[in-house]
Amino acid sequence: MSGTHTSGSAPAATPPAAAPPPAPKPAARPRPSLAGIGVPLLFALLCVFGAWVAHLTPEFLLREMLSRFARNAVIVLSLLIPVLAGLGLNFGIVLGAMAGQVAVIFVTYWKIGGIAGFALAAALAVPIAILFGLGTGALFNRSKGREMVTGLIAGFFSNGLYQLLFLFAVGSVIPWHAQNMLLPQGYGLRNTVDLIGIQYALDDLIKVHVTLEGSPVRVPVVTFVFIALVCAFNLFFQRTRLGQELRAMGQDPHVAATAGIPVDRNRLIATVLSTVFAAWGQLFFLQNLGTLNTYSSHDQVGIFAIAALLVSGATVSRATVGQALTGTLLFHALFVISPLAGKALAGDAQIGEYFRVFVAYAVIAVALVLHAWRKK
């Protein structure tokens, strides 16, 4: 019996002692694989088909996509660093979204509106997200090889704690002086928090409206600038020393460890960065939407962001900035189109609703299968 213990899978992966520390190779451009082109193409066709059967005009789509893309891009981008580090898809970004929501709730409570309020929320979200990220990262380090399922469950678990805090502690244990935010029973936040104070704070910082189909459409220029900044950060980050270390870890954690890379510490950093970006992403989302569904805004964040990334042909172990952006576009286009197409095709919008949820789940399932299959 003990014989099999020594010949397990782990030691086999350690390189011969003489192996030189792998100088992280200059990033080889990922060769476009079949999945890399086929998957986004399939979804693009699906979108075009849906738009065609539902008789959607390009103007309508453009109007919808402008706000949806601005809303969701950052949170999808927040997934990139953990993928680079070999942590897989970070289902723990739900905690980041919660951090953003905690910040936005406090800013609303203090009645600080406008861009000042948004900036304060963004600043406040950072320490909270760092804390949450450290927590998730520690869990990931204790569950190597099953980070994704751990992140998923960590999201559910923290949802319980979040409810405990805002549904029961606020107003009873934690003094809360804004009665209008509380439920009639005197404690617990209402199901929706009105974010009118910070709505469009960022989107309208520089007001640009174009006229489409006779009505003005908001172009969130500043938000797009910030999205570009996050993209630039991701690109720059991959070229830093830390970024290269993460890449080496993503390729082979054992080799990385032998090369003297502090694997556990770097994994923590990657998780924290991802959580902070997710918190900001959720803030971008909320300032555009203008209302916070206190107990459900964060629920689907992880699934939709991850599905959006995967729709572009990204995988569990390789995802680029470009894929994050195209994925956001494609997935949210499908999101707009599918209920309308469902209605046009079957006379029932509900079918389209179920279809888009099915697509989100199925895309993730297929990506996971492909990932595990290839690893064999």
Nearer to other proteins, 59 or 348 (CB): 348
| DSSP H or E segment with residue 329 | helix 321-346
In the complex, minimum distance from the CB of residue 351 to other proteins, in angstroms, rounded to a whole number: 6
If 0-12 CB within 10 Å is exposed, 13-18 middle and 19+ buried, where does residue 173 land? exposed
Q: Which residues contact 310 (CB under 8 A, 6 or more apart)?
A: 39, 89, 327, 363, 364, 367
In the complex, minimum distance from the CB of residue 319 to other proteins, in angstroms, rounded to a whole number: 17
In the complex, minimum distance from the CB of residue 90 to other proteins, in angstroms, rounded to a whole number: 13
Beta 192-194 vs 291-293: how paired, if at all? antiparallel
In the complex, minimum distance from the CB of residue 210 to other proteins, in angstroms, rounded to a whole number: 37
Bridge partner list, 292: 193
Two structure tokens written together for 163: 């409810």
Q: What is the spatial distance between Cα 219 and Cα 207, in angstroms, rounded to a whole number?
A: 8
In the complex, minimum distance from the CB of residue 343 to other proteins, in angstroms, rounded to a whole number: 13
Nearer to other proteins, 41 or 366 (CB): 366
Nearer to other proteins, 62 or 366 (CB): 366
What are the residues binding other proteins (CB under 8 A)? 1, 4-5, 7-9, 139, 142-146, 148-150, 152-154, 156-157, 159-161, 163-164, 167-168, 183, 185, 188, 346, 348, 350-351, 354-355, 357-358, 361-362, 364-365, 368-369, 371-373, 375-376
Q: What is the spatial distance between Cα 193 and Cα 290, in angstroms, rounded to a whole number?
A: 9
Within a 13 Å sphere around the CA of 324, how many CA atoms are in the beta-carbon half?
Answer: 25
In the complex, minimum distance from the CB of residue 360 to other proteins, in angstroms, rounded to a whole number: 8
Nearer to other proteins, 237 or 299 (CB): 299
Within a 13 Å sphere around the CA of 111, how many CA atoms are in the beta-carbon half?
Answer: 4
Nearer to other proteins, 126 or 153 (CB): 153
Nearer to other proteins, 174 or 346 (CB): 346
Nearer to other proteins, 52 or 361 (CB): 361
Residue with tokens 């996509």: 65
Candidates 48, 2, 41; CA nearest to 337 is 48
Q: What is the spatial distance between Cα 107 and Cα 281, in angstroms, rounded to a whole number?
A: 17
Secondary structure class of 215 (helix, strand, coil): strand
Nearer to other proteins, 168 or 236 (CB): 168
Q: How far is CA 86 from the centre of its chain?
A: 16
Nearer to other proteins, 65 or 368 (CB): 368
Phi-psi label, residue 29: left if phi above 0, alpha if psi -120 to 50, beta otherwise: beta
Q: Which residues contact 307 (CB under 8 A, 6 or more apart)?
A: 331, 359, 360, 361, 363, 364
In the complex, minimum distance from the CB of residue 272 to other proteins, in angstroms, rounded to a whole number: 18
Two structure tokens written together for 261: 């890379």
In the complex, minimum distance from the CB of residue 293 to other proteins, in angstroms, rounded to a whole number: 16
| DSSP H or E segment with residue 304 | helix 301-311
In the complex, minimum distance from the CB of residue 199 to other proteins, in angstroms, rounded to a whole number: 29
